């Protein structure tokens, strides 16, 4: 029986290349590529645009996956004038899995508006083995996902008000008229968006007091939460001990092995002139302050 992508160990499919392949096949780092590999094994970069997700009556800027522009830390790894000459090397510079495009929909999950592309490289989500991010936007999308989860967690704890501040690392443009899909998160909140330089107040929101039957609870589908011990203490304090005021860090301090060198190697494998900007790893800190009823 032909193997599918999920038949391979997680470590063997950290990086995948989708394409018109007849079978799923591992390409080991250092192995000789077939003569046509550089022409065939190329990835097209997937861009991201400015957007915010509107939450019922408020514009609560939960970042739309594949939809928020991270404007700091974007490094144009691909701006190599002599990149064509680098493609003469026929040895694989990193290990990846060649995956038939049909398996992208049959076995994998794609978040938000992301549509998998043929002849494109993707890197596995750090906390979900079936979710992949485009290689050129891996870090910004991983951080967006963590940010979204943190905000969703705090919303579930029924805050009185909530403020997010930018401290360092990735930043994004916020427009008071945030564009995006409306999604009901909490219909009883009013949002104020403030933009300042330095420690930016990305947004602040105030919420009406929840009714008796609307209890604070932790969502059951969190994937970043298990590794965030400080988040555990916060949730326990609010739900079980009447904690009224908290400050929570949304930090991004791990590159998950997706280094600038790896991204440069993937850029080389794309071939030709690359116009996309690769967002490299940057230590990032956004701070959330919240009070509770």
Looking at the structure, tell me whether residues 36 and 112 fall in a common domain.
Answer: yes
Answer whether residue 237 is part of any domain.
Answer: yes
- The per-residue pLDDT for 89 is 53
Q: Rounded to the nearest 10 degrees, how much is the dihedral formed by the CA atoms of 278, 282, 285, 286?
A: -10
C-alpha 44/C-alpha 142 separation (Å) is 19
pLDDT tens by residue, 25-65: 999 999 988 644 444 443 333 332 323 333 333 445 555 54
Looking at the structure, tell me whether residues 226 and 275 fall in a common domain.
Answer: no
- The per-residue pLDDT for 220 is 93
Answer whether residue 242 is part of any domain.
Answer: yes
Is the pLDDT confidence value at 192 over 50? Answer: no
- The per-residue pLDDT for 65 is 46
Answer whether residue 267 is part of any domain.
Answer: yes
Region of poorest pLDDT, from 149-153, 176-180, 192-196, 253-257: 176-180
Looking at the structure, tell me whether residues 89 and 25 fall in a common domain.
Answer: yes
Supply the DSSP symbol for 13.
Answer: G
Strand partners, 204: 163, 192
Looking at the structure, tell me whether residues 78 and 171 fall in a common domain.
Answer: no
Region of poorest pLDDT, from 56-65, 138-147, 266-275: 56-65
Q: Give the residue with greater pLDDT, 57 vs 289.
A: 289
DSSP code per residue over 147-166? HHHHHHHHHHT-EEEEEEEE
The boundaries of the domain holding residue 87 are 5-50+74-137+258-279
Assess contact for 30 and 91: CB atoms under 8 A.
Answer: yes
Answer whether residue 62 is part of any domain.
Answer: no
Mean confidence (pLDDT) of the chain:
76
Looking at the structure, tell me whether residues 112 and 242 fall in a common domain.
Answer: no
- The per-residue pLDDT for 44 is 36
pLDDT tens by residue, 205-227: 999 998 888 889 999 999 999 99
Looking at the structure, tell me whether residues 117 and 201 fall in a common domain.
Answer: no
Domain total in the chain? 2
What's the chain's Rg over C-alpha atoms?
21
Looking at the structure, tell me whether residues 247 and 169 fall in a common domain.
Answer: yes
Answer whether residue 148 is part of any domain.
Answer: yes
pLDDT tens by residue, 98-135: 999 999 999 999 987 789 999 999 999 999 999 999 99
Is the pLDDT confidence value at 286 over 50? Answer: yes
């Amino acid at each position: 029986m032909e193997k599918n992508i999920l038949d391979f160990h997680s470590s063997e499919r950290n990086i995948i290349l989708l394409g018109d392949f007849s079978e799923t096949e591992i390409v080991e780092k250092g192995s000789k590529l077939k003569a046509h590999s550089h022409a065939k094994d190329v990835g097209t970069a997937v861009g991201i645009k400015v957007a915010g997700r509107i939450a019922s009556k408020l514009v609560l800027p939960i970042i739309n996956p594949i939809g928020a522009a991270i404007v700091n830390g974007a490094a144009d790894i691909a701006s190599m004038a002599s990149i064509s000459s680098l493609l003469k090397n026929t040895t694989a510079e990193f290990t990846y899995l060649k995956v038939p495009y049909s398996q992208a929909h049959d076995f994998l999950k794609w978040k938000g508006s992301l549509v998998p592309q043929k002849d494109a490289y993707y890197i596995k989500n750090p906390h979900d083995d079936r979710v992949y991010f485009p290689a050129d936007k891996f870090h910004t999308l991983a951080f967006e996902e963590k940010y979204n989860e943190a905000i969703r967690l705090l919303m579930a704890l029924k805050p009185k008000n909530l403020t997010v501040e930018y401290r360092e690392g990735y930043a994004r443009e916020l427009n008071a008229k945030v564009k995006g899909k409306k999604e009901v998160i909490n219909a009883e909140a009013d949002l104020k968006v403030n933009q300042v330089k330095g420690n930016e107040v990305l947004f602040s929101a105030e919420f009406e007091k929840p009714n008796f039957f609307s209890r604070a609870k932790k969502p059951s589908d969190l994937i970043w939460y298990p590794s965030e011990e400080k988040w555990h203490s916060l949730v326990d304090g609010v739900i079980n001990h009447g904690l009224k005021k908290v400050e929570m860090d949304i930090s991004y301090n791990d590159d998950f092995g997706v280094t600038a060198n790896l991204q440069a190697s993937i850029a080389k494998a794309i071939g030709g002139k690359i116009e996309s900007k690769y967002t490299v790893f940057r230590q990032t800190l956004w701070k959330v302050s919240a009070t509770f009823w």
